[in-house]
Structure formats: C-alpha cells, structure tokens
Amino acid sequence: MKYIIGIGVTNGGKTTLTNRLIKNLPNCCVVHQDDFFKPRDQIEVGEDGFKQYDCLLKLWRPVSFVICMQNRHNLTLNPLIDVLNQRYFISIPYEECKKRRKYMVPDPPGLFDGHVWPMYLQHKNIMEESAVDVQLDGTKSKEQLFNFVYGDILNYIQKSL
C-alpha cells in the first residue's frame, strides 16, 4: 500500500513534525521541496524585489514536505498535489510566524512582510480553496501536533486495509 501526505507552512513546525513522523512510521521516505531549488543565481526575482523561493516548483506548491510510506524509487510526483492521500496545512498567526523566523543568516530587511507573509497567505488561500484535508493550529505544542497527525495517519491506513 502507498500512502502519501503533504505538510505545508512556513515556520510552523513542519520539519519537527515530519522528523517525528518518519521515526514512527515504517518504510518512509521524505521529499523536501528545499532539495529541488535551482542554484541561487538562477532563482528569479519577483515584482516584490525578493528571490521567489516559494514560487519555483509549481507542481509542489504549497506543500513543502511529503512523507511517502513506500520505496521512494516507485514514487510518481507529477503533479504532486493530485497524488496526496492526505494534505495538512499548519496555520500560524503573523506574530508567531515572525517570531519563529530565526536563521543563521538573517532575512534581508522587508523580506518577511514583503514576501514571506504574503506567500503564506497565498498558500493558505490555495489550500482552503482546494479543500485541504486538515488545517492544524501551529500554536499547539509539538507533541499535540504529532499526536494528532500520527493518529490521523494510522486511522486512515487502518480504514484503507
């Protein structure tokens, strides 16, 4: 059986959630959108003046992480949104998202308000319009998010057997 989920949001805890899920689910692989970026010098600059990291992979957007419970060599990814069994979008308020955005190299001035947050809102709208399966509250604890998603995945798989 193949079971593919997508998890998306910026600074909402998707890496932490994904890492916990792959430790607890057998025969998984993870596909990170970040692994498929073009070289920095090939990334387009948008009308907002910022490099368009969130717009590169039209087939992937707005899902950033995929967990596949199958051997990765048999995974078909075109278009990704259509092959997902379950889609999770982690919603997070503006202030919390901005507070969590701490990287080794700080964002250039204006990036968060001029690009990151508008892209989050755009992706959130896309997910709502496409009837995302589950919207998660990104302000909940890491443990609460994991317990819900892990339980949801197990229930889905059990129903499918």
User: Hey, which residues are catalytic here?
Assistant: 34
Most confident of 56-70, 75-89, 91-105, 142-156: 142-156
Summarised one tens digit per residue, pLDDT across range 14-44 is 888 988 998 998 888 777 766 666 677 777 7
Residue 78 near residue 59 (C-beta atoms within 8 A): yes
Q: For the domain that residue 96 is a member of, what is the CATH number?
A: 3.40.50.300
- Provide mean pLDDT across the span 48-58: 63
Residue 20 near residue 88, CB atoms below 8 Å: no
pLDDT band with cut points at 50, 70 and 90 for residue 146: very high
Least confident segment among 12-21, 75-84, 127-136: 75-84
Domain count, the chain: 1
pLDDT of res. 37: 60
Higher pLDDT, 133 or 17: 17
Question: What tokens does 11 get?
Answer: 């600074």
Domain that holds residue 10: 3-160
Q: Tell me the range of 30-34, 94-98, 101-105 where mean pLDDT is highest.
A: 94-98
Half-sphere exposure of 142 (CA within 13 A, CB side): 10
Q: Which residue bears the tokens 């998202």? A: 97
